[in-house]
């Protein structure tokens, strides 16, 4: 009785498949499909899926996805029905070729090879990816049917054990969702991403799904209010159209939250409206898209930076549409997508629809170029999987890579991330103790850059601790912050120890512990700050005798500063020294140009205009550019060479919201900088906005930039800029 019911269920599923075939499918082709079904049904007889249902229902479902959701024809439907026969039963590829012809046998063979790769427990996802793409060289329908197969497996993943669910979901997100995107299957790509998230992060998925549904319910009236005038205008202009309203997919919301580190409430473009129109005769579709754009923006103000024109230049996967974001009722941003009926079918069904509509003029589309380039590269001998992946990775996340832990957990990192970045992404302590890693089971240094598909194992040692040169090759904020935190903590302890050692030296010399004593020692030891002096003392880089000698030296005028420039003229090299007193320059050999006030660190150029004096300008100074263009023979190459303590005039301008104590906060920050002195300060306030100009003496551009960054971090300060040119 149960068997009869199952046979009825199987027969009903197959009849449903026949009804969903392309319009115009011939009786001959339907007979071929029936023949494939009979063979598959007999071959899978008595076999059940994990869910307990008859196995044959799976290939029928895959065939239906291929026919209805991708839009494939008879050959693909037959291959989909037979796709597991060779792998799971006694039938061979030769048997399929004899019964259904070489083309269908070739596709079934390709599908079988992919299945073998995916089930081989390989840890190198890059190699898997390459083998999947290799089948493009035979027939792209292999990929499309495999995507249909994966979609049905994801839809029925509930019956699998949890560890299998996570593995399949991760693999789907890494390989199949981007592949569906590249093939132009937007609807399938979105569903694969959502299903992957559902099994990889079930709690987050459920919570986001609930919030999105609640948001949609709350804003249903807003949709109707927004759409009503658009309907009216489109109808007035003679358009036949459909308008549908939707919210972002769960995965796209989740991904945006992860990428930008924002909450659900901070995502402003959750609402989207899609207009699909039937093109009018004798009017280009592109023109009609822009005409509808004009009608919409007559009613709602657009956000200029959010216009996406894929009508003029379609995406590489063939996608065409015009996207804009407008300000809707109630101050809500709403995305509007404008497509013709043809564009909509290509967007949803991708490759199959692309070929259906393709004419001779479209023979060089981006998608065709991509397919051709894959086949070309596949012919190159010796290309390994990682090179292949790097060359053709699916560009769903163009600036991100996805790598795997030894247990198969996927991690998303920025492009250029290293083994050390990965270690810190796993855990701070793993990063702090990292000594290297294994990428795809090969030993590599911690500076090794990762590529999508790499499987990474971190090697650690209890004796390891963060090093300063690590900052030279890491790229993630998390790694940098953790390393700097360790350094700050160590430096704080060293400053404390060095300060105690310095006080003991003063006591042994019977000198008072005063700020003047600290400044005197720092000046004569030629160190940029008192903290640096204390750290060098604590680390043993500075001896107690050197500190005593510095404290015994006679102090010169504290305003006297020394700095050097090096000039090159012909074969001779000349080093000159300049002495400057605050507020008054006494120079010999060269003059610092007052129009741009260059300081050490600036890119400079010299001009010998009169006598032996050389005027030094910033290279980008307008006056320097004018001089270079008109007096090229007067140019003297010049660069900063060395310095003891330097004092250069620099001017900064700033503005912001006038608030109690803002000026004192700014001057306090400047006074705390040992390498910066104020010469003049001027502030004005009008209508609650302050503007200020500060003249400073600084050592170099690094000190100035550091100071500007600290000032700009104040809550009331809006902008801080350096005045590049002092005169007009």
Angle, helix 74-81 to helix 102-118, in steps of 10 degrees: 50
Q: Identify whether the C-beta of residue 142 lies closer than 8 Å to the C-beta of residue 114.
A: yes
Edge to edge, the sheet with strand 561-569 lists 584-586, 572-581, 561-569, 638-643
pLDDT of residue 359: 46
Residue tagged active-site, from 6, 53, 87, 362: 87
Q: What is the pLDDT of residue 243?
A: 93
Residue bearing the bigger pLDDT, 560 or 2: 2
Average confidence (pLDDT) over 421-437: 90
Q: Tell me the C-alpha distance between 388 and 390, whole Å.
A: 5
What value does the mean pLDDT take over residues 706-722? 85
At 232, the pLDDT band (50, 70, 90 cuts) reads very high
How high is the mean pLDDT of the chain? 77
- DSSP element (H, E) containing 241: strand 240-247
**Residue 557's pLDDT band (boundaries 50, 70, 90)?**
very low
Q: How far is CA 232 from CA 235, 236, 328, in A?
A: 5, 6, 16
CB neighbours of residue 672 within 10 Å? 10
The beta strands (E) that lie in 415-553 are given as 434-439, 442-444, 456-460
Span 529-534, average pLDDT:
80
Q: Please choose, from the candidates 277, 285, 272, the residue with its C-alpha nearest in 3D space to the C-alpha of residue 311.
A: 285
Q: Using CA atoms of 74, 76, 80, 86 in order, give the dihedral in degrees to the nearest 10.
A: 110
Q: What is the pLDDT of residue 200?
A: 81
Q: Is 581 a catalytic residue?
A: no
Tokens of 105: 């046998």
Contact 585, 647 (CB under 8 A): no
Per the structure block, which two tokens stand in for 34? 């029936």
For residue 628, the model assigns a pLDDT of: 60
Query: Is the CA virtual torsion 29, 367, 285, 281 positive or negative?
Result: negative
Q: Which pLDDT score, from 0 to 100, does residue 275 have?
A: 94
What is the distance between the alpha carbons of residues 563 and 569, in angstroms, rounded to a whole number? Answer: 20
Angle at 328 between CA 323 and CA 334, to 5 degrees: 35
Strand partners, 576: 565
Strands 333-340 and 456-460: unpaired
Asked if pLDDT for residue 197 goes beyond 80, the answer is yes
Enumerate residues 6+ apart whose C-beta is below 8 A from 139: 103, 106, 107, 110
Q: Which of 28, 38, 69, 88 is catalytic?
A: 88
- Please calculate the CA angle 14-16-17 and round it to the nearest 5 degrees: 65
End-to-end CA distance of the chain: 97
What is the Cβ-side half-sphere exposure of residue 75, based on CA atoms within 13 angstroms?
14
pTM above 0.85, yes or no: no
As beta bridge partners, residue 574 has: 567
- pLDDT, tens digit, 9 for 90 and up, residues 236-266: 999 999 998 888 899 999 888 877 778 888 8
The radius of gyration of the chain's CA atoms, rounded to the nearest angstrom, is 35
User: Both tokens of residue 672?
Assistant: 């705390």
The residue with greater pLDDT, 645 or 679, is 679
Structure tokens at 312: 């003029």
210 confidence band (pLDDT: 50, 70, 90): very high
For 136-187, write each residue's pLDDT tens digit.
545 678 888 889 999 999 999 888 877 778 778 877 877 788 778 777 788 8
Chain segment 470-489, per-residue pLDDT in tens: 888 888 767 876 787 787 77
Query: H helices within 156-201, ranges in order?
Result: 162-171, 177-182, 186-200
Angle in degrees, 0-180, between the axes of helices 186-200 and 250-260, rounded to the nearest 10 = 70
Determine which of 73-82, 367-376, 448-457 has the lowest per-residue pLDDT on average. 367-376
Q: Can you say whether the dihedral through the CA atoms of 425, 429, 431, 436 is positive or negative?
A: negative
Q: Residue written as tokens 């741009």?
A: 596
Ordered by where they begin, the domains of the chain are 2-200 (1.10.3210.10), 206-357 (3.30.460.10), 399-475 (3.10.20.30), 484-552 (no CATH), 561-643 (no CATH), 648-722 (3.30.70.260)
Rounded Cα gap, residues 575 and 642, in angstroms: 10
pLDDT single digits (tens) 287-312: 999 999 999 999 999 988 888 888 88
88 is an active site residue: yes
> Is the distance from CB of 133 to CB of 392 less than 8 angstroms?
yes
Q: What is the structure's pLDDT at 251?
A: 92
**Beta-carbon count within 10 A of 615 CB:** 21
Q: What share of the chain is helix, strand, coil (3-state, %, to 5)?
A: 50, 20, 30
pLDDT of residue 674: 67
Identify the DSSP state of 380: S
């Amino acid at each position: 009785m149960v068997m009869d019911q199952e046979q009825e269920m199987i027969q009903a599923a197959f009849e449903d498949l026949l009804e969903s075939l392309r319009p115009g499918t011939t009786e001959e082709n339907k007979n071929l499909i029936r023949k494939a079904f009979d063979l598959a049904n007999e071959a899978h007889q008595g076999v059940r899926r994990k869910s307990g249902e008859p196995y044959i229902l799976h290939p029928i479902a895959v065939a239906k996805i291929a026919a209805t959701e991708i839009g494939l024809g008879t050959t693909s439907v037959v291959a989909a029905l037979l796709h597991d026969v060779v792998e799971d039963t006694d039938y061979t590829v030769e048997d399929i070729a004899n019964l259904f012809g070489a083309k269908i046998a070739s596709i079934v063979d390709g599908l079988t090879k992919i299945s073998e790769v995916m089930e081989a427990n390989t840890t190198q996802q890059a190699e898997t990816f390459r083998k999947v793409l290799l089948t493009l060289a035979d027939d792209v329908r292999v990929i499309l049917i495999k995507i249909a197969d994966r979609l049905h497996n994801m839809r029925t993943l509930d019956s699998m054990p949890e560890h299998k669910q996570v593995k399949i979901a991760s693999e789907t997100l890494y390989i199949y969702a981007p592949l569906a995107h590249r093939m132009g299957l937007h609807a399938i790509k979105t569903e694969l991403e959502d299903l992957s998230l559902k099994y990889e992060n079930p709690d987050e998925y459920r919570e986001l799904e609930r919030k999105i549904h609640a948001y949609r319910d709350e804003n249903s009236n807003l949709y109707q209010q927004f759409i009503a005038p658009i309907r009216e205008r489109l109808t007035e202009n003679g358009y036949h159209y459909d308008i549908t309203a939707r919210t972002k997919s769960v995965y796209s919301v989740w991904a945006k939250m992860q990428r930008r580190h924002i909450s659900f409430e901070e995502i402003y473009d959750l609402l989207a409206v899609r207009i699909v129109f039937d093109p009018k005769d004798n009017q280009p579709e592109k023109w009609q898209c822009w005409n509808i754009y004009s009608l919409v923006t007559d009613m709602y103000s657009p956000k200029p930076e959010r216009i996406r024109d894929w009508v003029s230049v379609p995406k590489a996967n063939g996608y065409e549409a015009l996207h804009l974001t407008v300000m809707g009722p109630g101050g809500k941003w709403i995305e509007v997508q404008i497509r013709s009926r043809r564009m909509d079918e290509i967007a949803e069904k991708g490759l199959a629809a692309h070929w259906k509509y393709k004419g001779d003029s479209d023979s060089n589309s981006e998608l065709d170029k991509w397919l051709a380039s894959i086949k070309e590269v596949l012919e190159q001998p010796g290309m390994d999987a990682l090179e292949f992946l790097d060359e053709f990775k699916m560009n769903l996340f163009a600036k991100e890579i996805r790598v795997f832990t030894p247990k198969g957990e996927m991690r998303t990192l920025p492009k250029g991330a290293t083994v050390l970045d990965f270690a810190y992404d796993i855990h701070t302590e793993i990063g702090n103790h990292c000594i290297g890693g294994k990428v795809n089971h090969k030993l590599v240094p911690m500076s090794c850059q990762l590529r999508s598909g790499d499987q990474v194992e971190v090697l650690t040692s209890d004796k390891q601790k963060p090093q300063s040169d690590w900052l030279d090759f890491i790229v993630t904020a998390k790694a940098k912050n953790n390393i700097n935190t360790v350094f700050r903590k160590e430096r704080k302890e060293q400053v404390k120890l060095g300060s105690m050692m310095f006080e003991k030296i003063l006591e042994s010399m019977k000198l008072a512990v005063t700020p003047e004593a600290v400044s005197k020692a720092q000046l004569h030891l030629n160190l940029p700050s008192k903290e640096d002096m204390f750290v060098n003392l604590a680390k043993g880089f500075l001896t107690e005798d050197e500190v005593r000698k510095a404290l015994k030296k006679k102090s010169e005028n504290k305003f006297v500063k020394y700095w050097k420039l090096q000039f090159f003229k012909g074969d001779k090299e000349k080093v000159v020294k300049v002495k400057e007193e605050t507020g008054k320059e006494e120079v010999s050999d060269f003059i610092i140009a007052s129009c741009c006030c260059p300081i050490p660190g600036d890119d400079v150029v010299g001009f010998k205009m009169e006598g032996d004096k050389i005027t030094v300008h910033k290279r980008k100074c307008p006056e320097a550019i004018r001089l270079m263009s008109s007096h090229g023979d007067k140019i003297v190459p010049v660069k900063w060479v060395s310095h003891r303590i330097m004092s250069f005039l620099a001017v900064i301008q700033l503005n912001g919201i006038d608030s109690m104590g803002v000026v004192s906060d700014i001057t306090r920050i400047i006074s705390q900088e040992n390498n910066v002195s104020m010469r003049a300060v001027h502030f004005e306030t009008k209508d609650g906005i302050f503007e200020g100009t500060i003249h400073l003496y600084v050592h170099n551009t690094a000190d100035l930039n550091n100071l500007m960054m600290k000032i700009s971090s104040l809550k009331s300060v809006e902008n801080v800029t350096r005045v590049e040119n002092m005169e007009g």
